[in-house]
Structure 1
Amino acid sequence: MNRPNLSRRPLAAIGLLLASGFAAPASFAADAPTPPVAAQRPHEVKAPHGAVRNDEYYWLRDDKRENPEMLAYLNAENAYADAMLAPLAPLKQRLYDEIVGRIQQDDSSVPYFEDGYWYYTRFETGKDYAITARRKGTMEAPEEILLDQNAMAEGKDYFQVGGWEVSPDGSKLAWAEDLNGRRQYTIKVKDIASGELLDSAITGTSGNIVWGDDNKTIWYVENDPETLLSTHVKTHVIGTPSSEDKLVYTETDNSFYMGIGRTRSKQYICIGVGSTVSSEQRCTKAASPGEFTVVAPRERDVEYSADHYAGRWVITTNWNAPNFRIMTAAEDALGSRENWKEFVPHAGDVFIEGVELFDGYMAIGERSDGLRRIRILKDGGDSQFVKSDEPAYTMGLSVNAMPDTPWVRYTYTSLATPATTYEINVETGERKQLKQDPVPGFDPTQYVTERVWVPSRDGTVRIPVSIVYRKGFEKNGEAALLQYAYGSYGSSSDPGFSRLVPSLLDRGMVYAIAHIRGGQEMGRAWYDGGKLFNKINTFTDFIDVTDWLVANGYAAEDRVAAMGGSAGGLLMGAVANMAPEKYDVIISQVPFVDVVTTMLDPSIPLTTNEYDEWGNPEKKAFYDYMLSYSPYDQLEAKDYPATFVGTGLWDSQVQYWEPAKYVARLRAKKTDDNTLVFRTNMEAGHGGKSGRFRRFAEAAEQYAFMLDQLGVEKRAE
């Protein structure tokens, strides 16, 4: 389950590929170990309308993660995975070394200036975590370390910093940390100069932090401990017991997420709530916090986001504008949409994603033809686009902390271009490259990117596909292919550079991202065309892209791998059920595969937020439709592709028992001898292991499995 910012986010898109040269998978050894067999225990899952399903593996669910029998099963699956993957250890190590070799280990970010300081993060050679630091006035000033995450993570199996914020006077730092990957953050505060810990009392938060103007009050969002829904906004005075925290706002509709922040002007503190189809925002003056004024009352199918700068409100909204438009309102004109005036009208072929406000102009993030671009729009009406020379790319606004500048920072990347930070002067048009992420040993001129359009099976749409391969590749139908997609929540899978991909492309594989319906690459209609009663389009689009790529020589029909994570794991389960003969390998990470059971249980984290994405199965029409594609429910006695399933025991977005049950049932149902391995990270959650190197070891294992199953030649040493 997934909402942008909080949920089943698309995992990083990654691709591989290798030339001909087919070899029997090492994992087919005659003395292969016997896989674990989970006990089957009848359990009825009932729906309010009377439908009943038997879930023989329901017993694998344990909300406390303590059941010895359940843990023994997960550990047995891990031991089986260890044994099955042991022959691939040399390939895994080689892939890991190649990937890590493309990282400049002592790298640092582009510094940005805010309130008198230059802020940046840097990495030290051999260390897993970032150091966050600042320098006063100039980059030649002494360094002040704000967070040394390496020291903070020492001795911990998992560590992650969520949000962090410096107090308005620059003297204190508040940050949120997570120690198990469940995204239940503890907020701590320290004095920057002395390093003294001033507070460590705020637990069970979303990680969202806002300082009050008094430099001693923190505004934060509290999560429900069971459902993890963001339920309350509270204020905490540094050094006081959390039991004395003041309740500011309670969200009673459990289909809404919640966040808190300051406007661009820093003059207002605003609480924002949003569901799949509507949103609402309320704000109070930061200098004298009091009653929060609603910008406009919530209404179903109306979304908006309001920001304040230069004495006016600027609102991005889909009100009578499916692809969104930009409105303005006077300083004191809150409370009703009738006070809004149109500034940038709706366009049927351009989707507006967001806006950043500056003195005399705004930078607008847009989508056109499935690609992200930036438009600079001056208050007088003149506009210009930031251009690209590649057919498939991703462009987005970078950190622009201060609005009083003619320079706009943005990032640019493609499947063959490492992330690059530029700034452009909106007055002169001058462009400067501030940094391109260093990738040792990588030559972008040796790779080719393409954007192709695949007709859907019903002929109603064309599906954009981003492709990359090594120069010299021939479309002769002999190569191996990895196809990635997500296709849910309106979350777009943009073509960006990954340090993993070259290891795969150099072996002759093709990597393709299918921008299927359910994402938002082609505007709001693209999202609507792949959710609720249109969800089947997400799966058929993916299969149609596979068929087209094979038919047009990008891959051999018997050398196709598919990969997806979270809601993309639901996609993997669905296509494996619908067209197993078209895929040789499936890589499914933290997969959302037990759709109906999860959506029938509002106690499971995030379920109630998802009714407008999947439907509410308490209503029979939705129940029947969801059941028709639910990967867990549609497993049957037939051959399935070789499959690698991964999860995290502490995952709060897709609970571990979904993939656990799925693997247990798949083992019992499938009629083939293809390899099925299930890897559970016992210390992590939805995003896998923490640390920049540890996660690459996980990826190397998955890709070694994939390369072996596809018969891709091992790279010459």
Structure 2
Amino acid sequence: MTKALTPPVAKKVPHVMEIHGHQRTDNYYWMRDDKRQNDEVLTHLKAENDYCEAVMKPHIDLQATLFEEMKGRIVKDDSSVPVKDGLYWYTNEVSGEEEYGRHYRALNEAMDDKTLLLDVNELAKGFEFYELADLAVSPDDNLLAYSEDTDGRRIYTIKFKDLNTGQMLEDCLVETEGEVVWANDNRTVFYVRKDLQTLLGFQVYRHVLGTPQSEDVLVYEEQDRQYYMGLGKSRDESQIYIYLSATETSDVLCLDAEQPMGEFKRLLARQEGHEYGLDKFGEYYYLLTNSDAKNFRMVRVELDAVNDPGQWEEVIAHRENVLLEGLELFDSHFVITEREMGQIRFVIHDYAGASYQLGFDDECYYAGVGYNPEPSSTFVSITYSSLTTPSSVYSCDLTTGQKTLKKQMKVLGDFKPQDYASERLHITARDGEKVPVSIVYRKSLFKKDGTNPLLQYGYGAYGYTVDPTFSSSTLSLLDRGFVYVIAHIRGSEMLGRHWYESGKKAHKENSFNDFVDVTRALVEQQYGAPDKIFASGGSAGGLLMGAVMNQAPELYLGIGCHVPFVDALTTMLDESIPLTTNEYDEWGNPNNFADYQSILSYSPYDNLAMKDYPNTLVTTGLHDSQVPYWEPMKWVAKLRELKTDNNILVFKTDLDSGHGGASGRFKSLHEKALEMAFFISLLPKQGG
């Protein structure tokens, strides 16, 4: 074996940690470097990158083919559906080989008099990574505020542009969360400042244009570090909100948008376990609340009585099997997003009590309320996608429900939706619960005889539901005979709030069991070949991959593990790490003995053992602020030390990106091509 194909071996420096009378020894704790400047660490990461490149070199042509396939399906010149906001219509356009778009506005929907607001390609010049976050036009349409991140750590700088002259203002707000909200005086903005150690947004500042940031006024500081912080504006733009959310508790503070020098006031007394979403329209607040309603109910209340639940008027009652997910208010109607048996639908209500349902016919799909900035509109924008239908935008008449297709994503090449089929299964897990599963394959290449390769994806955390949506890149697998599967395991809200609660904290093991049981059932039902099963997940889904590898490594030929949260116990014991305190309601607080024992029982890093593991590809970003690079780095080192097989283990670090990976519409395809080539290369007969 050549030196280039010898995997890097990390040194071992025992680091002993003790709590609750229990000791753990971490031989790779030294890999943590908060500043990302340690030469030994960077040298080891580069050695891992070199090893990954050497291992994958025989498949470099396959990677290139996959990249060109995926890139070739993307329309080079494209634009978003124009959206009216105030006097103007807004759109985003991309063209040619450019990685980023241009933002325009015009006085009509045809955009024939459009003017350029921002060219993101110009803004991104000179940066390996670039993300444009918030775009906020002042109420009088004359000024633009936007926020940008140039290293992937999600620390944003807010800048301002005069849209009449095209000149940049001198104002520059650094170390922010990215959101910016205008007061109605067109000269005052509010933003969230970040703690640079934990990267949590915890302070709201007021900035007056023309003054230095050093003179900005702190208007609110959240002392409880379990809360995330965000900003927004009411539907009628009369109020500015500070949104505070822990995993299980919501809180909202409010300010009159006409009085930016005023004081933010709490709308409802903070109550642990009370989660709600709130908006104001006219003389009422409208709330989706879990008060006496696990799956939420809708109430409305007059403005001065919002803090008195006895005055709440119930509009939509709680239902045991229907989750209320969203509310959009219009002058004539309001739109409720509901989910039942995993499927989304919309219910359009008028304010007199009449309603009707708006749904789609696919067996499994995703639909969401789009961007609807004008409450006076008589149409609601709906986005729609399924495993076989490219992303689509519909305009739906609020009175009649008539849907008009405004745009569907074009897929270049020989793609035909009718060549593919999707299914929704419900697979019984080991404890009797039925787990929803979404499946897609190319009809001509699928034989339900246990011969197809199969890739199963999962996430299962934070109540986040991974809906079945179209992916043009996945076609490269489907067209090589792969069956692609999404396992909607516990930890999401696919089947309502109880589905989430039974996959978190002390019940986290259910997420892993569900994923493994789905794999076994799909093999038994001959959707996939027992020796050609792959799995993939990222972030909390990376923790899922690590736990599944420990529980049932024999099921999988290959695993893709991306920005994985695999050192859960050590991280959850360290409050200096970003997001830790916010996560206690998700994973538990290991400073408590019971939670410590629970996390210890499944934490992938702590449960690695001397046994055979699948072929594994691990990826991360050096500047990841959510799952620090050292978690996968340590995990790979320990896995290399303990695994008893000769299977491939490669680890690639993007030295320029963060949690979301590479920026730009084409760069990220290289990461997808790497994983696909890794999987395909493991098959007895390689595709290409």
2:423 to 441, 447, 450: 450
Structure 2: distance between partners of 1:711 and 1:417: 31
Q: Which residue of 2 aligns with 1:652?
A: 625
Structure 1: distance between partners of 2:442 and 2:109: 43
Structure 1: distance between partners of 2:140 and 2:105: 14
1:379 is aligned to 2:351: yes
Q: Which residue of 2 aligns with 1:411?
A: 383
1:573 is aligned to 2:546: yes
Q: Which residue of 2 aligns with 1:164?
A: 135
Question: 1:586·1:641 contact (CA, 8 Å) conserved in 2?
Answer: yes
Q: How does 1:45-84 map to 2 (within 5 A)?
A: 45-47=17-19, 49-84=20-55
1:197 to 168, 185, 192: 168
Q: Which residue of 2 aligns with 1:469?
A: 441
Structure 1 residues 641 and 191, CA, compared in 2 at 3 Å: closer, same or farther?
same
Structure 2: distance between partners of 1:688 and 1:362: 37
Q: Which residue of 1 aligns with 2:206?
A: 235
Question: 1:186·1:200 contact (CA, 8 Å) conserved in 2?
Answer: no
Give the CA deviation at 1:360.
Answer: 2.5
Give the CA deviation at 1:618.
Answer: 0.7
Q: Which residue of 2 aligns with 1:5?
A: none
Question: 1:480·1:712 contact (CA, 8 Å) conserved in 2?
Answer: no
Q: Which residue of 2 aligns with 1:549?
A: 522
> How many aligned positions are there?
685
More moved, 631-640 vs 189-198: 189-198
Structure 1 residues 294 and 438, CA, compared in 2 at 3 Å: closer, same or farther?
same
Q: Amino acid of the residue matched to residue 318 of structure 1?
A: N
Q: Amino acid of the residue matched to residue 399 of structure 1?
A: Y
Structure 1: distance between partners of 2:256 and 2:385: 38
Structure 2: distance between partners of 1:320 and 1:702: 45
Q: Which residue of 1 aligns with 2:219?
A: 248
1:597 to 570, 574, 581: 570
2:248 to 256, 277, 286: 277
Q: Which residue of 2 aligns with 1:433?
A: 405
Give the CA deviation at 1:217.
Answer: 1.1
* Secondary structure, aligned partner of 2:418: helix
Structure 2: distance between partners of 1:197 and 1:712: 57
Question: 1:33·1:83 contact (CA, 8 Å) conserved in 2?
Answer: yes
Question: 1:262·1:269 contact (CA, 8 Å) conserved in 2?
Answer: yes
Structure 1, gaps ≥5 residues long: 1-28
* Secondary structure, aligned partner of 2:677: helix
Higher relative contact order (CA 8 A, sep 6+): 1
Q: How does 1:153-552 map to 2 (within 5 A)?
A: 153-289=124-260, 290-441=262-413, 442-459=415-432, 461-472=433-444, 473-552=446-525
Structure 1: distance between partners of 2:426 and 2:449: 19
Give the CA deviation at 1:581.
Answer: 0.2
Give the CA deviation at 1:179.
Answer: 0.6
Structure 2: distance between partners of 1:106 and 1:480: 34
Give the CA deviation at 1:387.
Answer: 2.0
Structure 1: distance between partners of 2:306 and 2:495: 32
Per-residue deviation, residues 14-50 of structure 1 (Å, max 9, x unmatched): xxxxxxxxxxxxxxx8887100001000101232x23
More moved, 32-41 vs 132-141: 132-141
Per-residue deviation, residues 513-547 of structure 1 (Å, max 9, x unmatched): 00000011000000000001000000000000001
Structure 1 residues 554 and 412, CA, compared in 2 at 3 Å: closer, same or farther?
same
Structure 2: distance between partners of 1:345 and 1:484: 35
* Secondary structure, aligned partner of 2:79: coil
Give the CA deviation at 1:284.
Answer: 1.4
Question: 1:294·1:335 contact (CA, 8 Å) conserved in 2?
Answer: no
Superposed structure 1 runs of 4+ greater than 6 Å apart:
29-32
Structure 2: distance between partners of 1:642 and 1:198: 53
Per-residue deviation, residues 415-464 of structure 1 (Å, max 9, x unmatched): 110011111112233221000011112110100000000001011x1000
Q: Which residue of 1 aligns with 2:90?
A: 119
Q: Which residue of 1 aligns with 2:615?
A: 642
Per-residue deviation, residues 649-704 of structure 1 (Å, max 9, x unmatched): 00000000000000000000001110000000000000001100000011101110
Structure 1: distance between partners of 2:315 and 2:123: 47
More moved, 152-161 vs 565-574: 152-161
* Secondary structure, aligned partner of 1:402: coil
Q: Amino acid of the residue matched to residue 91 of structure 1?
A: L
More moved, 587-596 vs 426-435: 426-435
Q: Amino acid of the residue matched to residue 494 of structure 2?
A: E
Structure 1 residues 42 and 587, CA, compared in 2 at 3 Å: closer, same or farther?
same
Structure 1 residues 256 and 140, CA, compared in 2 at 3 Å: closer, same or farther?
closer
Q: Amino acid of the residue matched to residue 224 of structure 1?
A: D
* Aligned residues with identical type, % of pairs: 47
Q: Amino acid of the residue matched to residue 30 of structure 2?
A: W
Give the CA deviation at 1:77.
Answer: 0.3
> TM-score, with normalisation over the residues of structure 1?
0.94
Per-residue deviation, residues 565-613 of structure 1 (Å, max 9, x unmatched): 0000000000000000001100000000000000000000000000010
Q: Amino acid of the residue matched to residue 540 of structure 1?
A: N
Give the CA deviation at 1:635.
Answer: 0.5
Structure 2: distance between partners of 1:711 and 1:98: 22
> TM-score, with normalisation over the residues of structure 2?
0.98
Structure 1: distance between partners of 2:371 and 2:196: 33
Per-residue deviation, residues 378-409 of structure 1 (Å, max 9, x unmatched): 21222112121111111110111111122111
Structure 2, gaps ≥5 residues long: none
Q: Which residue of 1 aligns with 2:592?
A: 619
Q: Amino acid of the residue matched to residue 642 of structure 2?
A: K
Q: Amino acid of the residue matched to residue 208 of structure 2?
A: V
